[in-house]
C-alpha cells in the first residue's frame, strides 16, 4: 500500500496523522460507518453483534469481535489503535450498526443448510441476508427423502395409536419454526425404557444443538436464565429433579402465552423480547402446582410414553439409523406443521392426550373439578342436600377418577372448608345448617352418576367410626 492509499484508508477510518506519523486527529464517527459500508454486521436488541455468513446471521463472541475490529482499524498502519480509541468507536458501532427490526421474523421460512424452506409453498428459496435469520436447522433439503425406520419406531412407542403419532408429527414441525401461535407446551411423560429418550434425541438432532436451550422450569424466574431462550426454537428440559416442589407457573404461562419477557446477560443491559422457544419437558411424573387455573392447563400437551421395552432385544444402533433419516424426518415434520396451520394452530384431536390433561387437572384441583362434574346451584331454598350425600358422592367421584389415594385421609373439616370455598368462588348462594342430627346444605345439589345414597360406604374404602361425624362441616 503506497503512501496515498494509506492516507485514504486512514481517512475512511477517521484518522489523521502528523508528520511524525502519529495520530493527531481522530473522529469516531467514520470507522463505524466504514464497517457498515464494507461488512454485513448488525447490533441487535440484545446488545449482541451478528455477522452474516453463508446464509445465516451468526452471533459474535465479544472478544473475537473486538480483535477483528482492531485488526481492520490498523490495516493501513499498525500501532494506531489504543484502548481509548476502541472505546470511542465501539460507542459509535452500537448506534451506527443498530438493527431495530425483529430477527427471525419471517415465520413461514425455515433456514436449512442449502436454502430457505418455504413452509407454505414447500419450495426451497436461496439464502438472503434480508431474512435476518439467526436460526439454521442442520438439515439439507432432499425433495424425495423418506424415514421408514422412524415411522416404525413411532408405531412401537405409541402402541400404534395414530392420534398420538399425529400430535407428535405436528409438534415436530412446530418446534422447527419461530412461530408460537399454538400457545402450548409439550410434556413427554413416562417411566422406564419406553422410547422417550430416543424420541427426544432425534428431535434434538433435527432442531440442532445451537437452536435449543435447556433451562429447567424452576429457573425460568431468573433473568440470567431466561436470556438463554432468546433466538431459540425449543427449550428441552428434564424435570424429574423437582422432588415434589410446587411448580410456580408465572413465567411458564408468560413464555407459552407469547407475553413479552425481560432478560439479562452478564455485563449487558436488561432487554425485552417475546420468546420463540417452545417449552418441552420430559417427566416421569407430572409436577404439583398451586396454579389450578384454566390458563395453565389449557397450555399443556401431554404425550404419554407407556410402551415397555425392558427385557426386549434392543437395537443399540437405532439412534444412528434415525440420524441417517433426518432429511426424511424433516419432510414428515413439515406435513405435521402444514396440518397444524390448516387447523389454525390447534393440535389434532387425541383421546389419550385429553385424558392425561383431564386427569392431571383433577389431581391438582379435585374440588373444582368435582363441582364441574357433580354440583349444581339451585334457587329452591326448601331443598336440603344431605351432607352425607355430598361427602360420599365426592368419594365415589374420587375413586372413579383414580385419585382416592390422595384423599382417603382428608379430614372432614378440610373437605368442607374446600367445598365451601369453591362454592363461594363460583358465586353459589348456599348455606349450611342442621335439624337435630341432620346436617345439610341449601343452594346446591349433587347430580349425575356419582350421586351417593345417604351413609354409603364405598366397598369399605372410606369408613368412619362415628356416623354423625359425616354430617359435621
Q: Which residues contact 392 (CB under 8 A, 6 or more apart)?
A: 452, 453, 455, 456, 458, 462, 470
φ/ψ of residue 124, rounded to 5: -100, 130
CA torsion, ordered 40, 41, 42, 43, to nearest 10 deg: -170
pLDDT at 458: 40
d(CA 366, CA 378): 22
Q: List pLDDT tens digits, range 172-230.
A: 999 999 999 999 999 999 988 899 999 999 999 999 999 999 999 889 889 899 999 99
Grid cell, residue 469, equals: 361425624
d(CA 44, CA 419): 53
CB 130 within 8 A of CB 80: no
Q: Measuring CA to CA, how many Å separate 47 from each of 50, 67, 263?
A: 10, 18, 12
pLDDT at 2: 61
Residue 283's nearest CA partner among 265, 299, 301 is 301
pLDDT at 56: 97
- In terms of DSSP H, where are the helices of 101-178? 148-157, 162-174
- How many CA atoms within 13 Å lie on the side-chain side of 369? 20
The 3-state DSSP class for residue 313 equals coil
pLDDT at 467: 39
Q: Which residues contact 427 (CB under 8 A, 6 or more apart)?
A: none
Q: Which residues contact 424 (CB under 8 A, 6 or more apart)?
A: none
* Long-range own/partner contacts, residues 347-351 (CB < 8 A, 24 or more apart): 347/167, 347/170, 347/171, 347/182, 347/184, 347/301, 348/163, 348/166, 348/167, 348/170, 349/163, 350/163, 350/164, 350/166, 350/167, 351/163
The DSSP secondary-structure symbol of 136 reads: B
d(CA 424, CA 404): 24
pLDDT at 8: 82
Name the packing angle between helices 62-73 and 83-96 (round to 10°). Answer: 110
- In terms of DSSP H, where are the helices of 13-61? 30-38
If 0-12 CB within 10 Å is exposed, 13-18 middle and 19+ buried, where does residue 292 land? middle
Residue 288 C-alpha from the chain's centroid: 18
Residue 111's nearest CA partner among 140, 87, 82 is 140
pLDDT at 11: 84
CB 376 within 8 A of CB 299: no
pLDDT at 52: 97
User: If you classify domain 148-360 with CATH, what class do you get?
Assistant: alpha beta
Residue 238's nearest CA partner among 187, 309, 199 is 187
Between β-strands 300-304 and 185-189, what pairing exists: parallel, antiparallel or unpaired? parallel
Q: Which residues contact 173 (CB under 8 A, 6 or more apart)?
A: 333, 334, 335, 336, 337, 338, 340
pLDDT at 468: 39
CB 266 within 8 A of CB 240: no
The 3-state DSSP class for residue 212 equals strand
pLDDT at 205: 97
pLDDT at 460: 41
Helix (H) or strand (E) holding 282: strand 278-283
Q: List pLDDT tens digits, range 268-309.
A: 889 899 999 999 999 998 888 888 788 899 999 999 998 887
| Low-confidence residues of the chain: pLDDT under 70 | 1-4, 239-244, 311-313, 405-409, 454-473
Core vs surface per residue 393-422: b (16+ CB within 10 A) or e: bbbbbbbebebbeebeebeeeebbebbbeb
CB 381 within 8 A of CB 340: no
Domains in the chain: boundaries? 3-96, 148-360, 365-471
Looking at the DSSP bridge assignments, the partners of residue 274 are 260
d(CA 112, CA 104): 13
Amino acid at each position: 500500500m503506497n503512501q496515498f492509499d494509506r492516507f485514504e484508508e486512514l481517512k475512511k477510518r477517521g484518522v489523521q496523522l502528523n508528520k511524525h506519523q502519529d495520530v493527531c486527529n481522530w473522529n469516531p464517527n467514520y470507522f463505524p460507518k466504514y464497517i457498515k459500508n464494507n461488512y454485513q454486521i448488525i447490533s441487535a436488541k440484545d446488545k449482541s453483534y451478528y455477522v452474516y455468513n453463508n446464509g445465516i446471521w451468526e452471533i459474535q463472541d465479544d472478544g473475537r469481535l473486538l480483535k477483528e475490529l482492531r485488526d481492520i482499524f490498523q490495516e493501513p498502519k499498525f500501532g494506531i489503535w489504543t484502548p481509548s480509541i476502541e472505546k470511542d468507536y465501539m460507542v459509535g458501532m452500537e448506534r451506527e450498526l443498530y438493527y431495530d427490526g425483529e430477527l427471525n421474523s419471517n415465520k413461514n421460512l425455515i433456514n436449512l443448510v442449502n436454502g430457505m424452506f418455504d413452509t407454505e409453498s414447500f419450495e426451497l428459496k436461496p439464502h438472503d441476508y434480508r431474512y435476518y435469520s439467526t436460526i439454521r436447522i442442520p438439515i439439507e433439503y432432499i425433495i424425495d427423502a423418506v424415514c421408514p425406520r422412524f415411522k416404525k419406531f413411532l408405531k412401537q412407542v405409541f402402541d400404534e395409536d395414530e392420534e398420538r403419532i399425529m400430535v407428535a408429527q405436528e409438534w415436530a414441525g412446530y418446534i422447527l419454526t419461530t412461530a408460537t401461535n399454538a400457545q402450548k407446551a409439550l410434556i413427554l411423560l413416562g417411566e422406564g425404557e419406553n422410547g422417550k429418550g430416543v424420541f427426544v434425541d432425534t428431535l434434538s438432532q433435527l432442531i440442532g444443538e445451537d437452536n435449543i436451550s435447556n433451562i429447567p422450569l424452576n429457573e425460568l424466574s431468573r433473568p440470567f436464565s431466561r436470556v438463554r431462550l432468546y433466538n431459540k426454537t425449543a427449550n428441552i428440559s428434564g424435570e424429574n429433579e423437582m422432588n415434589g416442589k410446587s411448580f410456580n407457573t408465572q413465567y411458564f404461562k408468560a413464555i407459552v402465552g407469547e407475553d413479552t419477557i425481560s432478560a439479562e446477560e452478564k455485563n449487558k443491559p436488561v432487554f425485552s423480547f417475546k420468546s420463540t422457544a417452545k417449552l418441552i419437558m420430559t417427566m416421569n411424573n407430572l409436577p404439583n402446582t398451586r396454579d389450578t387455573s384454566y390458563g395453565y392447563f389449557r397450555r399443556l400437551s401431554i404425550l404419554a410414553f407407556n410402551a415397555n421395552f425392558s427385557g426386549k432385544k434392543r437395537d443399540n444402533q437405532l439412534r444412528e439409523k434415525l440420524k441417517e433419516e433426518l432429511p426424511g424426518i424433516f419432510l414428515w415434520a413439515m406435513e405435521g406443521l402444514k396440518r397444524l396451520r390448516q387447523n389454525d394452530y390447534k393440535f389434532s384431536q387425541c383421546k389419550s392426550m385429553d385424558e392425561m390433561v383431564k386427569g392431571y387437572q383433577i389431581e391438582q384441583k379435585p374440588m373444582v373439578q368435582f363441582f364441574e362434574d357433580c354440583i349444581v346451584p339451585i334457587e329452591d331454598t326448601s331443598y336440603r342436600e344431605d351432607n352425607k350425600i355430598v361427602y360420599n358422592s365426592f368419594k365415589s367421584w374420587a375413586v372413579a377418577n383414580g385419585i382416592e389415594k390422595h384423599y382417603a385421609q382428608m379430614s372432614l373439616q378440610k373437605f368442607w372448608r374446600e367445598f365451601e370455598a369453591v362454592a363461594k368462588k363460583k358465586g353459589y348462594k348456599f348455606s349450611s345448617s342442621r335439624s337435630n342430627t341432620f346436617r345439610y346444605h341449601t343452594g346446591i345439589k349433587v347430580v349425575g352418576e356419582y350421586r351417593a345414597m345417604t351413609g354409603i360406604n364405598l366397598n369399605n374404602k372410606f369408613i368412619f367410626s362415628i356416623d354423625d361425624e359425616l354430617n359435621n362441616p
